[in-house]
């Protein structure tokens, strides 16, 4: 007789938000896996209805304290599409600069305070800091520089307040931006060194046949623009997102699961997907690091996402420096526009992956409807699929299985607060 056995992780640590993991075995076979997200729905889409469109960037930024810029970028671009605004290349570059700051601080937090302890046998960052003080200090320095950029350009490090539909409320002086350069130059060197360090970690041998999805752009590493592309060699305009992808409710989660409509299958978004699809658009030093690490691209080992994050930090410092060195304040800082009804969508690359927004607005400038599809809800079904494959290849006691599963989930850097929010693990055997 096949006995049922359940493993539960009640509280997955070192992720953003609150959720749980439930695994049920029947005999040695994995019967069911649920990434259960039980935080109450946050209802941002409803909250936005009938609000002036100018409030949307700051309201959606409140969805996340780690990646508020991503919400500001996707919302402003979607609203600008609805209003028929094209921002100037100068504003476009400044938005990329802001996004660089967010990628740096978000990736550095995850890599050095949350994820690296998993590979070195520590329970947390402060235990790791005792044996690896230079690496943790280095990681904190990267994060600090990212935060400084957000403060200067965004007005403050968390929930920046300077992003407006049409541009920025104000742009910093050349002196303010120039003052950041020396810190960024030093941090770039630290980022290269630390990325090489994490690339030498001992990674579990776990390759997956992913369909990876990310923006691609002919001229730049994707942040705010481009087509949505797949590792299966197809691509679509962002306007076709709803034709290709669909969010579905599942009973065990307050966050929706996204799937590809045509194949009814899950897909993978995030830094690894971006890198696999855009390797040739990396800045030169970032490309050198990608070539130097002993990883074959495209990489399909989710645990090696930590290396992809490091390479993206290098890219972000390098690109930020190139923008800062040529920087001149933008005049005027934003485009004027008239309200009219319309609809528009945009997808940008949040630190954790593709973030899609769509808005309908009225002639009175009020939001009629909003759709927000964050990367973590797009990755949820893929995480469950990965866990099923991963658990099947682990022969260990329940505690080891539970902690191994937590590590796999952490490699996605899930932001449950964004999808709606956290994580706990339960294993059940019968």
**If you ran DSSP here, which 8-state letter would residue 299 be given?**
P
- Least separation in angstroms between residue 111's CB and another protein is 12
Of residues 142 through 171, those in contact with another protein by CB under 8 A are 143-144, 147, 157-159
Closest CA to 140 of 121, 114, 118: 114
DSSP conformation letters of 113-170 = IIIHHHHHT-SSHHHHHHH-HHHHHHHHHHHHHHHHHHHHHHSSSSS---EETTEES-
**Contact flag: residue 8 with another protein (CB under 8 A):** no
Distance from CA of residue 104 to its chain's centroid?
11
Q: Which residue has the tokens 């992780």?
A: 9
Whether omega for the bond prior to residue 363 falls within 30 degrees of 0, making it cis, is: no
**Contact at 8 Å (CB) between 271 and 399?**
no
> Using CB under 8 A, which of the segments 133-141, 237-245, 286-294, 319-327 binds another protein?
133-141
Each residue of 350-377: b (16+ CB within 10 Å) or e? Answer: bbbbbbbbbbbbeeebbbbebbbbbbbb
**Contact at 8 Å (CB) between 419 and 14?**
no
How many other C-beta atoms are found inside a 10 Å radius of the C-beta of residue 224? 22
Of residues 62 through 91, those in contact with another protein by CB under 8 A are 65-66
Residues 28, 55, 126, 207: which binds another protein (CB under 8 A)? 126
**Contact flag: residue 41 with another protein (CB under 8 A):** no
> Using CB under 8 A, which of the segments 95-103, 125-133, 227-235, 307-315 binds another protein?
125-133
> Using CB under 8 A, which of the segments 76-84, 134-142, 165-173, 213-221 binds another protein?
134-142
> Using CB under 8 A, which of the segments 13-21, 171-179, 270-278, 387-395 binds another protein?
13-21
**Contact at 8 Å (CB) between 62 and 289?**
no
- Least separation in angstroms between residue 114's CB and another protein is 6
Residue 55 or residue 364: which is nearer to another protein going by CB? 55
> Using CB under 8 A, which of the segments 136-144, 176-184, 195-203, 371-379 binds another protein?
136-144
Residue 310 or residue 414: which is nearer to another protein going by CB? 414
Q: Tokens representing 117?
A: 């302890």
- Least separation in angstroms between residue 124's CB and another protein is 7
**Contact flag: residue 15 with another protein (CB under 8 A):** yes
Number of residues that this document lists for the chain: 430
> Using CB under 8 A, which of the segments 109-117, 273-281, 293-301, 313-321 binds another protein?
109-117
**Contact flag: residue 136 with another protein (CB under 8 A):** yes
Residues 85, 97, 125, 321: which binds another protein (CB under 8 A)? 125
What is the sign of the dihedral through the CA atoms of 131, 134, 136 and 137? positive
Closest CA to 423 of 137, 62, 11, 77: 11
**Contact flag: residue 111 with another protein (CB under 8 A):** no
**Contact flag: residue 137 with another protein (CB under 8 A):** yes
**Contact flag: residue 95 with another protein (CB under 8 A):** no
Share of the chain residues as helix, strand and coil, in percent rounded to the nearest 5: 45, 20, 35
Distance from CA of residue 344 to its chain's centroid?
22
**Contact flag: residue 419 with another protein (CB under 8 A):** no
**Contact flag: residue 113 with another protein (CB under 8 A):** yes
- Least separation in angstroms between residue 94's CB and another protein is 23
- 3-class DSSP state of 128: helix
**Contact flag: residue 135 with another protein (CB under 8 A):** no
Residues sharing a CB contact under 8 Å with residue 62, sequence separation 6 or more, in sequence order: 68, 159
Residues sharing a CB contact under 8 Å with residue 260, sequence separation 6 or more, in sequence order: 211, 244, 245, 246, 266, 267
Number of chain positions touching another protein (CB under 8 A)? 27
- Least separation in angstroms between residue 16's CB and another protein is 5
Of residues 195 through 214, those in contact with another protein by CB under 8 A are none
**Contact flag: residue 130 with another protein (CB under 8 A):** yes
Binding footprint of another protein on the chain (CB under 8 A):
13-16, 40, 65-66, 109-110, 113-114, 124-127, 129-130, 133, 136-137, 140, 143-144, 147, 157-159
């Amino acid at each position: 007789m096949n006995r049922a056995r359940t493993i539960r992780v009640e509280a997955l640590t070192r992720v953003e938000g609150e959720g749980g993991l439930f695994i049920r075995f029947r005999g040695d076979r994995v019967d069911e896996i649920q990434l259960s997200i039980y935080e109450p729905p946050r209802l941002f889409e409803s909250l936005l209805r009938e609000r002036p469109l100018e409030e949307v960037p700051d309201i959606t930024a409140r969805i996340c304290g780690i990646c508020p810029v991503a919400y500001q970028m996707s919302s402003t671009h979607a609203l600008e599409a609805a209003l028929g605004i094209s921002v100037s290349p100068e504003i476009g570059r400044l938005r990329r600069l802001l996004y660089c700051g967010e990628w740096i601080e978000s990736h550095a937090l995850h890599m050095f305070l949350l994820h690296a302890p998993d590979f070195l046998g520590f329970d947390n960052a402060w235990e790791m800091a005792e044996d690896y003080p230079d690496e943790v200090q280095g990681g904190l320095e990267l994060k600090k520089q990212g935060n400084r950029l957000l403060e200067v350009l965004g007005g403050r490090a968390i929930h920046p307040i300077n992003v407006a539909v049409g541009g920025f409320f104000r742009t910093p002086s050349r002196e303010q931006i120039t003052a950041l350069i020396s810190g960024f130059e030093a941090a770039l060197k630290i980022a290269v060194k630390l990325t090489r360090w994490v690339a030498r970690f001992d990674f579990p041998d776990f390759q997956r046949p992913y369909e990876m999805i990310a923006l691609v752009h002919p001229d730049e590493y994707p942040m705010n623009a481009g087509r949505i592309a797949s590792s299966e060699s197809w691509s679509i305009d962002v306007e076709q997102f709803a034709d290709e992808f669909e969010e579905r409710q599942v009973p065990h989660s307050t966050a929706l699961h996204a799937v590809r409509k045509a194949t009814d299958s899950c897909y993978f978004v995030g830094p690894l997907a971006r890198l696999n699809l855009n390797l040739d658009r990396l800045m030169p030093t970032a490309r050198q690091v990608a070539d130097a690490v002993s990883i074959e691209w495209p990489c399909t080992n989710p645990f090696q996402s930590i290396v992809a994050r490091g390479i993206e930090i290098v890219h972000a410092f390098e690109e930020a420096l190139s923008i800062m060195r040529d920087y001149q304040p933008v005049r005027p800082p934003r485009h004027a526009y008239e309200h009219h009804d319309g609809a528009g969508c945009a997808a940008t690359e949040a630190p954790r992956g593709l973030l899609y927004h769509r808005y309908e607005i009225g002639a009175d400038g009020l939001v009629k409807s909003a759709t927000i599809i964050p990367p973590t809800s797009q990755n949820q079904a893929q995480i469950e699929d990965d866990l099923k494959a991963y658990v099947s290849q682990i022969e260990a006691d329940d505690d080891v299985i539970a902690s191994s599963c937590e590590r796999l989930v952490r490699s996605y850097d899930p932001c449950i607060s964004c999808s709606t929010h956290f994580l706990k693990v339960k294993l059940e055997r019968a």
